[in-house]
Amino acid sequence: MDGNEKTKIGRLYDIQGFSVHDGPGIRLTLFLKGCPLKCLWCHSPESQAFKKELNRMELKCIGMEVCGKCIPVCPQGAISAGATKTSVDGSGEITVPDVDRSKCNDCGICTESCPAKALYICGTDYGVDEIMEMIRRDIPFYETSGGGVTVSGGECLCQPDFLLEVLRRCHAEGIHTAVDTTGFADWATIEPILPYTDIFLYDLKHMDSEMHQKATGAPNERILENAKKAAAGGAKFQIRIPIIPLYNDTEDDFEKFGAFISELGDAVELVQLLPYHKLGIAKWGRLSAKAPVIEVQPPTDEFVQARKKQLESKGLRVQVH
């Protein structure tokens, strides 16, 4: 191993241990920053930009009345007194900070003066060696549960060198690997990771390229072609379909999903349905950004079960996430 392999750097926005929703068994999930898609229902807006970003969690703020330390320390003059809100403990009204994003350069100086950690920088750089140390700590849990490591995002394929080296190191140590991806990348990025990826958690958002473009900002031809190539190359898949009302939830939509997934044959081990939820909307406020355009009522359990049965009728193994 040369020095470059040891020092490859990845930028992550979260690391979650004891995860049971990102592949088989108990897993450590690495969430890498940066994504080429801009899904209108995105529940992790902090994952979209590759750069480090200032986040503001109003629930933690103790108020300008007793603190306000963030305002004078900002070198850009980007922070000022904002809205008045009821404190979390219900003791009274507090004034929370407002961040002018046109002035903020995400330097993070304000976070150092925030005693409540209501202001924080999202995005931390790690070397592969550092990540591997974290991964090894949970090896007993992987071994007893059939788990391993999942590299997710954002879109982890946007950091291909770091991704490949983590997968290669895990593979060398017998640790199961999963890659959670939109599939929107050049084949030259995906092909090198095939030997080191035990399973892909692969998103399908819409089978119509024009509709895919409207809701995500990109067409889907590359995504579908990459899935076919990976399947032909021996890859295994858990296909993930977000169920978004008024976008991709009709019987016809699911007929097309089912037909394509069936084309991939034995490469597909499981299809997971991910019903739309509103839990991520609050995260947009942390970036002082508008919420997603799509804000609809989550599908009912009965509706989701009907779509599940529709795919199962094609001989597919289906699970509601």
Note the pLDDT tens digit of each residue in 174-228.
Answer: 999 999 999 999 999 999 999 999 999 999 999 999 999 999 999 999 999 999 9
List the domains of the chain with CATH numbers: 3-50+124-320 (3.20.20.70), 53-121 (3.30.70.20)
Q: State the average pLDDT over residues 276-293.
A: 79
Q: What is the band of 2 on the pLDDT scale with cuts at 50, 70, 90?
A: very low
Q: What is the pLDDT of residues 34-47, one digit of tens each?
A: 999 999 999 899 99
pLDDT tier at 7, thresholds 50, 70, 90: low
Residue 91 has pLDDT above 90, yes or no: no
d(CA 142, CA 153): 21
Mean of pLDDT over the chain: 94
Closest CA to 163 of 142, 148, 178: 178
What percent of the chain is predicted at pLDDT more than 70? 97
pLDDT band at 283 (very low <50, low <70, confident <90, very high): confident
Residue of higher predicted confidence among 42 and 291: 42
> Does the pLDDT of residue 250 top 70, yes or no?
yes
Spatial distance between the Cα atoms of 151 and 166, rounded to a whole number of angstroms: 9
Among 34, 42, 289, residue whose Cα is nearest residue 162: 34
Q: How confident is the model at residue 290 (pLDDT cuts 50, 70, 90)?
A: confident
Q: Determine the 3-state secondary structure of 79 from DSSP.
A: strand
Mean predicted confidence (pLDDT) in 72-91 = 91
Higher-confidence residue: 148 or 290? Answer: 148
Cα–Cα distance, 43 to 45 (Å, whole number): 6
Q: What is the pLDDT of residues 10-37, one digit of tens each?
A: 999 999 999 999 999 999 999 999 999 9
Distance CA 72, CA 283 (A): 26
**For residue 78, pLDDT beyond 90:** yes
Confidence of residue 317 (pLDDT cuts 50, 70, 90): very high
Q: What is the pLDDT of residue 234?
A: 98
Cα Rg, the chain, nearest whole Å:
21
Q: What is the pLDDT of residue 282?
A: 77
pLDDT number for residue 150:
98
pTM of this structure: 0.92
The DSSP 8-state label assigned to residue 20 in this structure reads S
Q: Does position 92 have pLDDT exceeding 90, yes or no? A: no
